[in-house]
Every structure is written in structure tokens, then in C-alpha cells.
Structure 1
Amino acid sequence: MKKFLIHIPLLVLSTTFTFISCTSSKNVDTNLPKDIAERPADEDSQKYEQAQLDKLKASIESESSREKCANASEWTFAPMGAKACGGPQQYIAFPKKMETTLLPRIEEYTQKVKAFNEKYNIVSDCMMIMPPTSVKCINGKAQLITAEQ
């Protein structure tokens, strides 16, 4: 009987700690992400910056492709982007009448790509992209013509 009386305070104490620990877990913030992949993109992350570059590039390409190509002499081209080893990533065709609006945006994109490459030590294939020789209108779309074509 004496041993039984000694176990009662221990039983009460353990039950009290159990209830306290169970109630304290209810205060956990349920707004936290369940997985690190659900974490919002950090503005200083490489993935975020790449997405911003992709948006700018898509915007430039979309704006230039909205115009129908009927007369190739009304179109021109410019280098766009920058490879880590140097040189452009690509060339883009656009109407000459949009030159004042598109060229500054193309230059902005190119400068941002250069800064991105330096910041994240990006490595490229170092293949030189040859500039096109002219623009040709095919089915209403501007096509860049290279020396090999």
C-alpha cells in the first residue's frame, strides 16, 4: 500500500505534463509552409532573378513578334543577351519603326544578363553566334537569314 501511495504523485505529475504539452502544440502557426519548396521566392535568389530575366525576354520577343512582316526592308535585327564567355545569346528581328522603344529594352536585358552571369558565375558553351545577314518575311513573320542559308 505504501508503494502505491508513492506512485500516485508520479502518475499525477506525468499526466499534468502530458496535458500541458498537448495544449501548447495547438498554438503552432498554421500559416507556415509545409515544405521548403512552397517557400516564396526570395528576391535575392538565382531562381527569382532568372524568372525576371525570362519575363523581360518574353516581353521583348512578344512585342516584336506582334508586328506582321510584309516588307523585309522595314525590319532590322540586334544582338540580345550575353553569354558568359562573351558575345550575344541570340539575335532578334524587329520593325525599324519600333527601334527607339525596343533597343533600350534589349540593351537593358543584355546588361542584366551580364550582371546575372557574373553574380552567379554562370558558365556557357562559348559557341559564337554568327550575326544574321538579313531579315526575310515568311508567312507574315520575320525570319533571320544567316550566311549558311
Structure 2
Amino acid sequence: MKKFFINIPLLALCATLTLVSCNTTKNADTNLPKDISERPADEDSQKYEQAQLDKLKASIQSETAKEKCDNASDWTFAPMGAKACGGPQQYIAYPKKIETIIHPRIEEYTQKVKAFNEKYNITSDCMMITPPTSVKCIAGKALLITPEQ
């Protein structure tokens, strides 16, 4: 019985120390450096600039994709982007009714890609992309028709 009364304060002490140590580990890592993947991107880095280009390209593509293609004669296409060797990266179809809005954005994207290629000495495959001959509407989506098709 005497050992039992000695063990109670010992157990209480161990339990208290355990609870206190668990509580301090929650706050201990607040002063540690963050993981490199969580670090904000440097605005002068190639990765950051590529992400900005990708964002601009995605916004242009989403703007054209939300338009329904019912009549192919209401649509046209333009080169978009720039390969390091010259020539466009791709062609994009868009409705003529938004040409005044979308065409300057396509040009902006193309100029930014050219500057990016020069700044970071980007190389490309130098394959020429065949320009489309027309636009065709299939299931409400615009499809570019090339001579090979």
C-alpha cells in the first residue's frame, strides 16, 4: 500500500511533464525556416515568368473556349506564342465578334514569349507548325483544319 501512494505522485509528475512537452512542440516550430516548396517565387526567376505566361495563355484559351461555335464563318484563327527558332508555337481559333478584345491579348502573349525566349536563351525543336486552312464547328467547339486533315 505504501508503494501505491509513492507511485501516484510519480505518475502525476510524468503525466504533467508529458502534457507540457506536447504543448511546447506545437509552438516550437514557428521559428523554423519554411519548406523551400512553400517559399514565394522570386519574381525575377524563370519559373515565375513561365507561370505568368502559362496563366495568360490559359486565360486566352478559356475566353475563346466559352464561346459556342455554331457557324464556322463567324470564327477565325491567329498564330499564338513564338518558338525560339521563329514561327508560332500554335494557332488558336476565336470568334470574330471578340476579335478586338482577344487579338491584342494574343499579341501580348506572343511578345512576352519572344522576350522570355531571348532572356533565358530558350531552345526549341524548330519544327514549323502548319497554319490551318479553316475553322470547322464540331459539337459546339471550334476545330482548326490543316492541309494534312
- For the criterion TM > 0.5, the same-fold answer is yes
Instruction: State the alpha-carbon separation in 2 of the partners of residues 125 and 135 from structure 1.
Output: 26
Query: In the alignment, does 2:35 pair up with 1:70?
Result: no
C-alpha distance after superposition, 1:89-136 (max 9, x if no partner):
000000000100000000000000000000010000000001000000
The alpha-carbon deviation at position 31 of structure 1 amounts to: 5.8
Separation in structure 2 between the aligned mates of residue 37 and residue 77 of structure 1, nearest angstrom: 39
The number of residue pairs the alignment matches comes to 122
Alignment map for 1:110-121 (pairs within 5 Å): 110-121=110-121
Give the distance between the partners of 1:47 and 1:103, measured in 2 at CA. Answer: 26
Structure 2 equivalent of residue 145 of structure 1? 145
Match of 2:97 in 1: 97
Match of 1:30 in 2: 31
Identical-residue share of aligned pairs (%): 81
Q: If the length of structure 2 is used for normalisation, what is the TM-score?
A: 0.78
The superposition leaves residues 21-62 of structure 1 with CA deviations (integer Å, 9 ceiling, x where unpaired) of xxxxxxx971632x3333210000000000000000000000
Q: Provide TM-score, normalisation by structure 1.
A: 0.78
Unpaired runs of at least 5, structure 2: 1-28
1:133 equivalent in structure 2: 133
Residue 22 of structure 1 is matched in structure 2 by none
Root-mean-square deviation (CA, aligned residues, Å) is: 1.5
SS of 1:92's equivalent?
strand
After TM superposition, what 4+ stretches of structure 1 lie above 6 angstroms from structure 2? none
One-letter amino acid of the structure 2 residue matched with residue 64 of structure 1: T
Against the structure 1 CA distance between its residues 146 and 36, is the aligned structure 2 distance closer, same or farther, given a 3 Å change threshold? same
Aligned to 1:104, the other structure's residue is in SS state helix
